[in-house]
A and B are shown apart, each in its own frame.
Chain A
Amino acid sequence: MSKPKTNVLYDSWVMFKRCLLIAMRNPEALAMATITPFALMFLFGTVFGSIANVGDFNYIDFIVPGIILQSVAQAAQYSAINVTTDMTKGIIDRFRSMPISKSAVLTGHTGAGVARNTITTTVIIGTAFIIGFRPQAGFMDWLMIVGFLLLIIIAMSLIAVLCGLISKTPEGTSGLMFPLFILPFVSSGFAPTETMPRGLSWFAENQPMTPIIDTIRNLMLGLPADNSLWIALAWCVGIIVAAFVAAAQIYRRKLQ
């Protein structure tokens, strides 16, 4: 009568749809995924564009990667809060007492986070085009850009799920996610690191956002690839593996 075999893919798909529904119900989160990145891109591209000096670059072309990372980090916070809510409210006990795959709850949230951040990223790139973004990337470059952005989005979504699991309250979750959307500002995203004060520039050069941003920028603007590509790739894969393992571990411990 009872089938012990659970289907991770099917259960994750159902949970993914549920998480999307939850996201749609939160107007603030929806705005954070769509309107905020639009406004941010617009503001930085037009207002600061006329006063900022980034060498040979057009300011819009320069800041697109930084804006993407900043907005994705900000939107990811809602995945984190949704995970915390799920883990602290009664619904998780219902799922746990049902014959479904345990990890489906987390894969559902991760998937919804990836979907939301893909929209965010698309909005930013679209807005950038409207206000004068002129990338030089060829077809192969764009394929690499898409692949790379996807890696980053998955990494951010997994970090969000991890923060959501660690925290006991939604407020605490926002706090945990806070450094993530400050990091892009202390990187090569909005100004060349050479222009920063000494300590800050050291930090900026050694944190993951800088090689990631440099790599996307190089690809978008058709600049020659440098070793930031490999450093960025290592960071992304490292973060994905570490966040995945940590999240799975904490989740298992939480369920006893």
Chain B
Amino acid sequence: MESIISVSSLKKSFKSNHVLNDVSFKIPKGSVFALLGSNGAGKTTIVKILSTLLKPDGGSALICGYDVVRQGDYVRGCISLTGQFAAVDEVLTGRENLKLIGQLKRLPDGKNKVDEWLRFFDLEDAANRQVSTYSGGMRRRLDIAMSLMDSPQVLFLDEPTTGLDPQNRIAMWDLVKGLVSEGTTVFLTTQYLEEAEYLADNIAILHGGKIIAEGTTEELRKLLPPAKKEYIEKQPSLEEVFLALIGEKKEGGHHE
């Protein structure tokens, strides 16, 4: 299948902190890709490089066939980003934030879209209040809505459900499924492994600056033998696979 994102040998260091050493992966069009990794593994760094916010030190990344470094304008035209930290204007109201994005993206039916997303994320009552008065989850929902004002080809979601209540998390999952069925490709990072398990077609685990494992949940499960000494044979959960994999790679006997 055709890849809409293809990353090869990506490198990035912050001074002497070598965050990404050699990261490569491909994402088929219309699929959900989940990137897992511990805090500080470099997930957000990858998202920033792919969304043209940060320049890599080496390697290359193509999105929709465009190079993220040399053809940033084209890349920005086909992606939408929901970063790890809400990127909303605190002084404006929720409605004004959405309207602003509609205007900047020159949507012909901006007004309808604004109403549609306010309704979807249950923000109608708060629509005319300044965002500085919003709760963390409301801010997050507005942030996601702003990224969805026009249907992007590629959607980046950096820990989108962190801070959302279970109800809104499920709504968000349904939304992602819906977007993907319409052809959007979703790049997701998350700390909730059941989220990755439920949504993702492909999962990659980032550790030590490299992708140490990649595949479907089923393929990753095969990396660990089923737990043996139990009454009933139990498949390892993705969480167990994850911990085993990164534990294995932590050298020097540091780990608990």
Residues of A within 8 A of B (CB): 1-6, 10-11, 14, 18, 21-22, 25-26, 89-100, 256
Contacts and interface: CB of A to CB of B under 8 A. Distances in A.
Contacts, number: 74
A98 B92 contact: no
Interface in B62-94: 64, 71, 73-74, 76-81, 83, 85-92
B91 A100 contact: no
A18 B100 contact: yes
Contacts of A90: 83, 85-88
Q: Which of B74, B87, B90, B105 gathers most chain A CB within 10 Å?
A: B87
A2 B105 CA distance: 11
Given A18-B89, A25-B130, A100 B53 contact: no
Contacts of A98: 76, 101, 104-105
The 10 A-B pairs with the shortest beta carbon distances in the complex, nearest first, are A2-B77, A94-B87, A90-B87, A4-B73, A97-B81, A99-B76, A99-B77, A97-B51, A2-B78, A14-B103
Contacts of B86: 90
Contacts of B104: 11, 14, 95, 98, 100
9 contacts: A1-B78, A2-B76, A2-B78, A25-B130, A91-B89, A92-B87, A93-B87, A97-B81, A256-B54
B73 A89 contact: no
A14 B100 CA distance: 7
Given A1-B153, A91-B89, A94-B81, 6 more contacts: A1-B77, A91-B87, A96-B52, A97-B53, A97-B81, A98-B101
A26 B90 CA distance: 12
A93 B53 contact: yes
A256 B55 contact: yes
B96 interface: yes
Nearest to B55: A256
Nearest to A22: B91
B73 to A, nearest CB: 4
B196 interface: no
A92 B90 CA distance: 12
Contacts of B77: 1-4, 99
Contact of B52 (A14, A25, A89, A97): A97
B146 interface: yes
A26 B101 CA distance: 22
Nearest to A92: B87
A176 B233 CA distance: 68
Nearest to A14: B103
A2 B77 CA distance: 5
A21 to B, nearest CB: 6
Contact of B88 (A14, A91, A96): A91
Contacts of B88: 90-91, 94
A97 B47 CA distance: 11
Interface string B181-202: 0000000000000000000000
Contact of B79 (A91, A93, A97): A97
B54 A2 contact: no
A217 to B, nearest CB: 38
A100 to B, nearest CB: 5
Nearest to B75: A2
A26 B106 CA distance: 28
Contacts of B85: 90
Nearest to A94: B87
Contacts of A2: 64, 74, 76-78
Contacts of B96: 21
Contacts of B89: 18, 22, 91
Nearest to B147: A94
Contacts of A25: 91-92, 130
B212 to A, nearest CB: 28
A240 B51 CA distance: 34
A99 B74 CA distance: 8
Nearest to B77: A2
B92 A21 contact: yes
A131 B144 CA distance: 54
